[in-house]
A and B are shown apart, each in its own frame.
Chain A
Amino acid sequence: MVALKNGAETHPLVDLDQVIHAPARLMVLTYLYVVDNADYIFLKNMTGLTWGNLATHLGKLEQSGYIEIKKEFKGKKPHTTIFMTERGRSAFQDYKRSMQQVLNDLPD
């Protein structure tokens, strides 16, 4: 828990990483966490997001340093590969721990 200036404690949910917490970005990171890398088409199919939606969320994740986007040409066709960075893995693990703690502390 984070202590406030007046001595009161905030709820652990406040500590959750808001970049990861958005459902679409959480979905993207979940898939990237369990693989080494994936291309743009594969991620689009796995998440069910539209091109534009996926591009927006990937942009936010890249800005946060959680993923790395590598563009190259395979023959004449452009190919985009997405990797999760070490920082992204660490942040995802922290998020996972926080969520587990929050959910475990909930009464039945």
Chain B
Amino acid sequence: MSHSISLKDAEQRVFQTATNDGTWDILLGCFFLMFAIAPLLSASLGDFWSSAVFLPFWGAAYVALRLIRKHVVRPRIGSVRFGKSRRAVLSRFNVILLVLNLLTFVLGLFAAAYASRIPGQVMGFALGLILLGGFSFAAFYLGISRLYVYGLLTGLGPPIGEWLWTRGLVSHHGYPLMFGFISGTMIFVGLALLLRLIAQYPASDDDQPLESM
């Protein structure tokens, strides 16, 4: 297979090879699973604990995926330290993501305080818009096209769920159904990428051929 030989494309290919192992997709899926399950738990655990119980789950998922990266992914695709320009892009991306998260957190507090006065459709639309914007920005900035699909799914999920709920077709504003589908899709895509990587690249402990030079 031939590839473009421009330096920009080579750099993008390095970045995608090093990050396209599916572990981030699985972690994102685990995160969005909270939106699907927390509403079902809120009746028994309350609003706070129904979400808080996911913190140890996310922690466990993060540690498990780090171990998978170390023991499964790295022996297969190797490791690379990105160049200065990519590291600068990632630093800027992290700062922008942090600002977006803080903004979303403040909006969330505002929405919680005025929940009774804001119609459910507006809340669903606003959440969808924020998620669509965040994923689209990440997709554009990092050059990972499937994040546009995640943006569309998470952007359309809340308003569609709200629409189904107003017609009495689903419970809990449609969150369990819509976010169950979204997180399931992310985890499925992540697992597919990880399994493809395992099949495509054999594990290599042999890092000694340079002895012959």
| A residues at B contact (CB < 8 Å) | 30-31, 33-46, 51-52, 54-56, 58-59, 62, 69, 71, 77-80
Contact = CB atoms under 8 A, between A and B. Distances in A.
A58 B213 CA distance: 9
B207 A77 contact: yes
A62 B207 CA distance: 17
6 contacts: A34-B83, A38-B78, A38-B79, A41-B75, A45-B78, A59-B213
B213 A41 contact: no
Chain A to chain B: the 8 pairs with minimum beta-carbon distance, closest first: A42-B78, A41-B78, A34-B11, A59-B213, A36-B81, A38-B80, A51-B209, A55-B209
Given A33-B7, A46-B17, A80-B210, A41 B81 contact: no
Interface residues of B, number: 30
Contacts of A78: 207-208
B14 interface: yes
Contact of B14 (A40, A46, A52, A58): A46
Interface of B: 5, 7, 10-11, 13-14, 17-18, 75-84, 86-87, 201, 204-210, 212-213
Q: Chain A binding site: helix, strand, loop or mixed by DSSP?
A: helix
A38 B79 CA distance: 6
A77 B17 CA distance: 23
Given A55-B209, A59-B213, A78-B207, A43 B78 contact: yes
B207 A35 contact: no
